[in-house]
Amino acid sequence: MASPPGVPRLPPHDTRTPALSVVDMHTGGEPLRIVLAGCPEVVGPTLLAKQRYMRQHLDHVRRRLMFEPRGHRDMYGAVLVPSELPDAHLGVLFLHNEGYSSMCGHAVLALGRFALDFGLVPAPPAGAREALVNIHCPCGLVAAFVECEGGRSGGPVRFHSVPAFALATDLLVDVPGHGKVVVDIAYGGAFYAFVSAEKLGLDVCSTKTRDLMDAASAVTEAVKAQFKINHPDSEDLAFLYGTILTDGKDAYSEEPTTNICVFADEQVDRSPTGSGVTARIALQYYKGLLELNQTRAFKSSATGSVFTGKAVREVKCGDFKAVIVEVSGQAHYTGTANFIVEDDDPLRDGFLLK
């Protein structure tokens, strides 16, 4: 039987497995696949409990959407869930090729637009030029501010981070193939190691991406083996997400500073990395290289896309001196899709090539 006009007809599939309906976006080139429908209920009294439940019981959803043949090893995703926080408009679980993340800035920038355009937040008052979207991420509540006109999104989105801080500076790490390397570690909703690519004999702007990936991954594994990550609020947040290689230009300048982030299982961020910009701003502020409300531009060496960031106020996170960081960037819609499963497909849950 033909489908009604305007309703897509699904190909033959296992009717016991609901189709996964998604909206695809990108922020500075980094993809975001947002699940609209088809994901079973994610159970748990808190967002972190929901993340644990999804990892244990619904990880096939992540694999089907992130892995080939429906995705690729650098795909990124978001599952929207209810939040237990009264001020949150929505909760979100972040998906990537290795599992789940505590924070994702490029996703927050995209979800700000999505939440407004898909009616997940109250319509802004007539004439309003910006709408507030409170997004509960596993790391905490993040406020996104969405430029709008006539109640619809348009233009850049900015967000205010959870408390960001420097965990360790000038840490000497033995990196196989590179010897002793000086590393900084900072938190921007997730923990990152920061290294000037020059210290590894590389140029973040001209070295092949594969070589940058290998070096960054070596740093990540070395730090994991030689340094214990801790977070004052929760052990669920106490893990190293990846390494960001920089051009070494940490002192304030009006010119953009370039970096590349390699996270999870050698996943390369196409954007400047929103939570990485947050952590890098916190690190530069801690070192006295930035003042409050001094805006810096951060460029992705992968695509040339740019985010801006600034520390807007000082706060505390446990015993750490921390800052709230504002990050701004532009997200775009790229399409929609319905993904199905056939019951005799041996690759139904996806695969990745190494």
Question: What are 308-335's pLDDT values in tens digits?
Answer: 999 999 999 999 999 999 999 999 999 9
Quick one: 204 and 322 in the same domain?
yes
Quick one: 97 and 116 in the same domain?
yes
Per-residue confidence (pLDDT) for residue 7, from 0 to 100 = 52
In percent, the amount of the chain with pLDDT more than 70 equals: 98
Per-residue confidence (pLDDT) for residue 125, from 0 to 100 = 87
Per-residue confidence (pLDDT) for residue 15, from 0 to 100 = 87
Tokens, residue 220: 């990540």
Tell me whether residue 1 is in a domain: no
Per-residue confidence (pLDDT) for residue 6, from 0 to 100 = 57
Is the distance from CB of 173 to CB of 153 less than 8 angstroms?
A: no
- The domain spanning residue 245 has which CATH number? 3.10.310.10
Mean pLDDT of 268-280: 98
Mean pLDDT of 176-191: 97
Per-residue confidence (pLDDT) for residue 111, from 0 to 100 = 98
Is the distance from CB of 283 to CB of 194 less than 8 angstroms?
A: yes
Does the pLDDT of residue 138 top 80, yes or no?
yes
Does the pLDDT of residue 1 top 60, yes or no?
no
Does the pLDDT of residue 2 top 60, yes or no?
no
Tell me whether residue 113 is in a domain: yes
Tell me whether residue 350 is in a domain: no
Quick one: 135 and 172 in the same domain?
no
Does the pLDDT of residue 166 top 90, yes or no?
yes
Domain enclosing residue 76, as ranges: 20-161+333-339
Mean pLDDT of 241-270: 97
**Cα separation, 229 vs 219, whole angstroms:** 14
Quick one: 201 and 148 in the same domain?
no
* Catalytic choice (39, 104, 261, 317): 104
- The 10s digit of each residue's pLDDT in 104-117 is 999 999 999 999 99
Q: Is 317 a catalytic residue?
A: no
Tell me whether residue 10 is in a domain: no
Per-residue confidence (pLDDT) for residue 16, from 0 to 100 = 87
Quick one: 209 and 125 in the same domain?
no
Quick one: 321 and 223 in the same domain?
yes
- The 10s digit of each residue's pLDDT in 331-352 is 999 999 999 999 999 999 999 9
Quick one: 172 and 304 in the same domain?
yes
Does the pLDDT of residue 255 top 60, yes or no?
yes
Tell me whether residue 322 is in a domain: yes
